[in-house]
Chains A and B, each alone.
Chain A
Amino acid sequence: MSPLLDVQGLSVTVPGPDGPRFVVRDVSLSVDRGEALALVGESGSGKTMTALALMGLLPYGARIPGGAMVRVGDREIGGDVSREMASLRGGTVALVSQNGSSALNPVRRVGDQIREVLHTHGTAGIRGERVRTLELLDEMGLKEPDRVAASYAHQLSGGMQQRALVAVALAGEPDLLIADEPTSALDAPLRVQLLDLLARLGRTRRIGLLLITHDFSAVERATSRVMVFHAGQTVEEGPTPRVLTAPRHPYTRALVAALPFGGRPKERFAVTKEPHEPPPGPGCSFRGRCPLVEERCGHDPRLEKVAGERRVRCWVTGP
């Protein structure tokens, strides 16, 4: 069976002073039903642009150069990828953004926002929109769904807002959920709850999840595969536990080493050089920061298969 989401050769350019500049280069990824894939990397790595392209929400001026192949279920997305994906949004593909307080409509009650989606997509079923609204809120673990449905966003706490946002997303019965830093406005205990909720949707509803984050504990908690971005390219991909315990690409290693878990009190963190524009010309985009850099890194490395269902883009640590 074909995967739920299949993307081959996706690139994104933005206008620059010297013509279009690539912010995403030749990214391929797939998400199965019930599977959760994380896209991680620092700001500017291209993870968010990749997600925006897949949601049809690219900023003005950004383009997807030809040649990208995107398939959602059995539907082939040809022509204008961004526009076609936008037409699926809210239905087959739904999103959960970073900040519930700004993503929810401030002047409409939460329940009305859910009902609107149910109505637009005709997904309320025979029980009616009101009953389905309360069911959805209840399913999100919100106590007193009646009260939440009658509330405006500002009357809810940050954790409740994020759950309400997931309820709105689920109202359209999506097959794929794209979540962009859904937990960054929440603190630790609420993060765990929301991540567990997202992970549960994969198990119970077979929803595919694309999670964009820089938070590795979120990656570990909610996803089974992870794709690491650097300078617009995938530099490593594989099963989450393996990538996190035995990262292969020097960039992934640097990210994992910088995590605060473990270590002695007041022990300094392992850091790499500051991120900056990758060196011009061909070659590995990480070579300016890489501790393992060699002469051959001046040539473009390819994303190659290594053992354990993993791929890595590195001359030194690759196959």
Chain B
Amino acid sequence: MEARGLTVRFPGSRGSEVLALDGIDLKVHEGETLGVVGESGSGKTTLGRALLGLQRREAGSVSYRGEPVAGPEVRQPLLRQRAQIVFQDPLGSLNPRLTVQSALREVLLLRGRSPTEASDEIDDLLARVGLSRDVASALPNALSGGQCQRVGIARALAMEPEFLILDEPVSALDVSVQARILNLLLDLQERLGLTYLFISHDMAVVRRMSDRILVLEAGRVVEAGPADRIVAAPSRPYTRALLAAARLEALPGSGRTSPRQEEHPGTGA
């Protein structure tokens, strides 16, 4: 996927306008993960939506495998199938009145599967995202946050996409659940050769998940490069602030947390 000069403007209060994206250039290569980090209001969610044509852009172009994919000149369905979004709020993104299997069946029938084919595929999809078949008949509000997010991922996979936009997919989850969902995403990428755009405000998570990172500030790309380089040698104060917030700057890459405070003296054994 490639974007050039992508610009989005929102109407603000009292007739003013907000430049949400200001001339974004980016490329996502097949099979890689491009991490997008920035604080709230930096434009990361708008970027994900604009890439899929879910958000009207004012200027710039987006292409997928060399073909224009978003804009008035293009019909949507092509990209809708190949690219999917997984949202931050796992419960809110599911229809509260549809059981897990109905939500998945809906997508599969839309894709032209027969009811029997759909039932088989639902079992496959649940297994693929690590859900037991017991949850198939459950409504979303009976599921945990982690289970809901797995359903959201299964629903995206039902379209057999090549490209997933993951918009803060684990921000709402406990640390141990978060780790399991991130592992699932890494496994799926490896197994299915998926390409990810991974959006988050958490530099620690982005760095662990991404090949390359793009740092957004107020709608502009202020820094971009290989994940390790951005973390090891951030060139912008803004990136350093994000790193500090994720508490990565003090870590020698040991995989251990490092204490901020001094150890209390005289309390040893």
Report Cα–Cα, A43/B147, bound state, in Å.
Answer: 13
**Residue of A with least CB distance to B269:** A307
- Point out the residue from B40, B41, B182 that lies within 8 Å of A269, measured CB to CB: B182
Which residues from 257 to 290 on chain A have a C-beta closer than 8 Å to any C-beta of chain B?
Answer: 258-263, 265-272, 274-275
B175, B177, B209, B258 — which one has the most chain A CB atoms within 10 A of its CB? Answer: B175
Task: Give the residue name and chain of the A residue nearest to B144 (CB).
Answer: A43
Question: Would you call A214 and B268 a contact (CB within 8 A)?
Answer: no
B268–A189 touching, CB < 8 Å: no
Do the beta carbons of A261 and B202 come within 8 Å of each other? no
Verify B209–A266 contact, CB threshold 8 A.
yes
Q: What residues of B have a CB within 8 angstroms of the CB of A244 in the complex?
A: 257, 259
Choice from A240, A254, A256, A275 contacting B261 with Cβ under 8 Å? A240
Complex contacts, A192 vs chain B, CB 8 Å: 244-245
Q: CA of A61 to CA of B259 in the docked complex: distance in angstroms? A: 41
Contact B183 A269 (CB under 8 A): yes
Q: Among A214, A224, A260, A308, which residue has its beta carbon within 8 angstroms of that of B202?
A: A260
Alpha-carbon separation in the docked complex, A159 to B123 (Å): 43
Q: Are A217 and B208 in contact (CB under 8 A)?
A: no
Interface membership of chain B positions 236-257, coded 1 if the CB is closer than 8 angstroms to chain A and 0 otherwise: 0000011011111001011111
Give Cα distance in the complex from A241 to B250, angstroms: 14
- List residues of B (28-53) whose CB comes within 8 Å of A's CBs: 33, 39-41
Q: Are B260 and A221 closer than 8 Å at their CB atoms?
A: yes
A270 to B256, CA, bound (A): 12
CA–CA, A259 and B247, complex, Å: 11
- Bound-state CA distance A55–B204 (Å) is 34
Does B186 contact A266, Cβ atoms closer than 8 Å? Answer: yes
- Is A292 in contact with chain B by the CB < 8 A criterion? no
Are B257 and A245 in contact (CB-based, < 8 A)? yes
- Assuming the contacts A261-B257, A265-B208, A307-B269, asked whether A254 and B246 have C-beta atoms less than 8 A apart, the reply is no
For the complex, what is the distance from the CA of A214 to the CA of B171, rounded to whole Å? 11
> Known contacts A42-B177, A271-B183; is A188 also within 8 Å of B203 by CB?
yes
A44 to chain B: closest CB distance in Å? 9
**Residues of B close to A214: CB separation below 8 A:** 174-175
Judging by beta carbons under 8 Å apart, are A254 and B267 in contact? no
Interface assignment of B99: CB less than 8 Å from any CB of chain A: no
Question: Please, how many angstroms separate the alpha-carbon atoms of A244 and B144 in the complex?
Answer: 26
Known: A216-B175, A307-B269. A261 touches B247 (CB 8 A): yes
Assuming A43-B174, A262-B256, A271-B179, is B39 touching A239 (CB within 8 A)? no
Tell me the bound Cα distance from A267 to B253 in angstroms: 12
Interface presence of B264 (CB below 8 A): yes
Verify if A23 is at the interface (C-beta below 8 Å from B).
no
Distance to closest chain A CB from B213 (angstroms): 10
Closest A residue by C-beta to B228:
A265
A269:B179 contact, CB within 8 angstroms? yes
Q: Which of A189, A254, A259, A307 contacts B39 (CB 8 A)?
A: A189
- Pairwise interchain contact B202-A189, C-beta atoms closer than 8 A: no
The answer to whether B134 has its CB under 8 Å from any CB of chain A is no
Q: Does B205 contact A (CB under 8 A)?
A: yes
Interface centre among A186, A242, A259, by most chain B C-beta atoms within 10 angstroms, is: A259
* B257 engages A259 (CB within 8 Å): yes
Which one, B257, B260, B264, contacts A309 given CB within 8 A? B264
Measured CB to CB, the nearest residue on chain A to B201 is A187
- Asked if B241 and A265 sit within 8 Å, CB to CB, the answer is no
Closest chain A residue to B246 by CB distance?
A188
Determine if B227 is an interface residue (Cβ-Cβ < 8 Å): yes
Given the interface pairs A260-B208, A265-B228, the reply to whether A307 lies near B268 with Cβ below 8 Å is yes
| Cβ-neighbour of B176 out of A188, A190, A263, A275 (below 8 A) | A275
**Identity of the chain B residue whose Cβ is nearest the Cβ of A274 in the assembled complex:** B180
Looking at the assembled complex, report how far the CB atom of B249 sits from the nearest CB atom of chain A, in whole angstroms. Answer: 11
For the complex, what is the distance from the CA of A270 to the CA of B267, rounded to whole Å?
A: 30
Query: How far, in whole Å, are A239 and B207 apart by their CA atoms in the complex?
Result: 29
A242 vs B176: C-alpha distance in the bound complex, in angstroms?
Answer: 20
Taking a contact as CB atoms closer than 8 A, the residue among A157, A186, A188, A255 that contacts B175 in the complex is A255
A309 to B: closest C-beta gap in Å = 5
Q: In the assembly, what is the distance between CA of A274 and CA of B241, in Å?
A: 34
Q: Name the contact of A242 in the complex, choosing from B177, B207, B227, B263 (C-beta under 8 A).
A: B263
A115 at the interface (CB under 8 A from B): no
A-B contact pairs, 30 of them (CB 8 A): A42-B176, A42-B177, A188-B246, A189-B39, A189-B241, A192-B245, A215-B175, A220-B259, A224-B261, A239-B264, A240-B261, A241-B262, A242-B259, A254-B176, A255-B175, A256-B257, A258-B179, A260-B182, A260-B204, A260-B205, A261-B204, A262-B254, A265-B208, A265-B209, A266-B211, A267-B208, A269-B179, A269-B180, A271-B176, A274-B180
Binding site for B on A (CB under 8 A): 42-43, 157-158, 186-192, 214-217, 220-221, 224, 239-242, 244-245, 254-256, 258-263, 265-272, 274-275, 307-309
**Top 4 closest pairs, chain A to chain B, by CB:** A307-B269, A241-B259, A188-B245, A187-B201
Query: Other than the known A245-B256, A266-B186, what 11 A-B pairs have Cβ atoms closer than 8 Å?
Result: A188-B201, A217-B247, A220-B260, A221-B260, A261-B247, A261-B255, A262-B255, A262-B257, A266-B209, A268-B183, A271-B179
B residues adjacent to A (C-beta < 8 A): 33, 39-41, 144-145, 174-180, 182-183, 186-187, 201-205, 207-211, 227-228, 241-242, 244-248, 251, 253-264, 267-269
